[in-house]
Structure 1
Amino acid sequence: MNNLVHYSSEDNYAIITIKNGKVNAISHEVIAEINECLDKALEDEKVVILTGQPGILSGGYDLKVMTQSLDAAKELVSKGSELSHRLLSFPLPVIVACSGHAVAKGAFLLLSADYRLGIDGDFKIGLNEVMIGMTMHNAGIAIAKNKLTSVYLDRSVNNAEMYSPKDAVAAGFIDKTVPQEHLLPTAIKVAQMFGQLNLKAHAATKLKVRKEFLENLQLSIDLDKKEELSFSKK
């Protein structure tokens, strides 16, 4: 591991922390390390708390890769979609403690969790793909449809509207906001609550509830691999 993602095992939970530069960019290496951490959490049978650095969960995919070529961008987006699929079907509860801004793939991480906490403050949360000229990929649309409230879906996906943490609750990106100093303590309390669940029943029920969605998401990921990723210039 390149130590872009840190794993800390506690009582009944594990904290996975993304630490990759100023914007916590989601790169191939970050995705690989998150997957390694998820493997470890599964081995340890720990509820997962995924978080970022102070002020930011993630600003999205690594721009160095996204601007390298369309094929390079497509490969990274595909791996990111597969990570979302894994999080959404993960046998153990997944909590995202959003430590600030969550943009593009950062926001999709929120949409890929079982429970999402945000913090009060001047932070932006949302999907800016259309704003930067990227036609939203099929998997992204599927994930957004699954979590966002219907009145906010078009505003978020088609119009690239960004939200404050408070408005992100109404939109469906996060479940609850707390003061910054309460973020991890609250996430830990939620993890302890989830730890009281029968985790086998949780895993089986999650897959039943999300069966149709997960099948559609996999079809969308496969379709994205066949289609060209589209970027437009103004």
Structure 2
Amino acid sequence: MITTETRDGAHILTMDDGKVNALNKEKLDALVAALAECANDQAPVAIRGRKGIFSAGFDLKGFAAGPEVATAQLQAGKDAILAILRHPAPVITVCEGHAYPMGAFLMLAADKAIGTEGEFVTGMNESAIGMALPIYPMILGAERLTPRGKKAVATSEMFAPHAACKVGYFDKVVAPDEVESALKSELVHMKGLNAGAFNANKSAMNKQLIADIEASPLPDFGGAWAA
């Protein structure tokens, strides 16, 4: 599911399950483990998905498997967001397709998010599918999205790439044939940063956000919940 490549002093993590990258506990735990391994040398990290779809979001089969599995899956999503927010080196996400929740959450957590042009959408569509988000992506969205992006959470508005950039899911959007050069450019910039200063500044900026996410409760599955 996750392959790790070290290239020119940076780590490239690629999520590819051969399908739509629906994220269950096992896949999210694997992402957290890969990030932990990459932290050893403080090199920048890029997280990529499949061409056409970064992720279809949480695996709905996990939510249908009962409260214990569902809770574990949501906790794994929370852990993945926290792992990115805490990561001592820069984390870049590269989205070459659709990014539904939980994929959209990873975009918001990253230090830099690159999207690509195309017939793709990004956002949180829980209201449209009859579910409610857990608290932690609400906290993340409140911190990283624009006012329009925040309002769209309740209305399940999904955004085309350039619109997704305007509301905060991406930091830049490039043509599909420019993805590799854009990623290379970002990695060169990130590698040029002072590692200690970056970690100190990122930690300080994310301190309250991390604390708020850590303290947020998970749903009890007695009512509506997230997908």
- TM class, shorter-chain normalised? over 0.9
TM-score (ref. length: structure 2): 0.94
C-alpha contact 2:42 2:88 (8 A) present in aligned 1: no
Structure 1 unaligned regions, length at least 5: none
Comparing 40-49 and 109-118, the one that deviates more: 40-49
Residue 95 (structure 1) aligns with: 92
Displacement after TM superposition at 1:228 (Å): 3.3
1:224 to 206, 215, 218: 218
Contact kept? 2:35, 2:83, Cα under 8 Å:
no
Across the aligned residues of Structure 1 and Structure 2, the Cα RMSD in angstroms comes to: 1.5
Distance 1:94 1:8, change over 3 A: same
| Aligned match of 1:80 | 77
Q: Deviations over 1:139-197 (max 9, x none)?
A: 01001111100232021x21111010010011100011101121132112101101110
Corresponding position of 1:194: 190
Equivalence for 2:61: 64
Shift, 1:229, TM fit? 6.2
In structure 2, stretches of 5+ residues that fail to align are: none
Structure 2 counterpart of 1:38: 35
CA distance in 2, matches of 1:151, 1:208: 27
Aligned residues: percent identity?
A: 29
Structure 2 distance, partners of 1:230, 1:103, is: 22
User: Separation in 2 of the partners of 1:62 and 1:85?
Assistant: 19
Aligned partner letter, 1:140: P
Check 1:198–1:22 CA distance in 2 against 1; reply closer, same or farther (3 A cut). same
Q: What's 1:166 paired with?
A: 162
Shift of the 230–180 alpha-carbon distance from structure 1 to 2, 3 Å rule, reads: farther
User: Structure 1 residue runs of 4+, over 2 Å off?
Assistant: 227-232
Q: Counterpart of 2:20 in structure 1: which amino acid?
A: V
Task: Name the residue aligned to 1:108.
Answer: 105
- The C-alpha deviation readout for 1:111-151, integer Å capped at 9, x for no partner, is 11000000001001011122212111110100111110023
Cα distance in 2 for residues equivalent to 1:78 and 1:165: 28
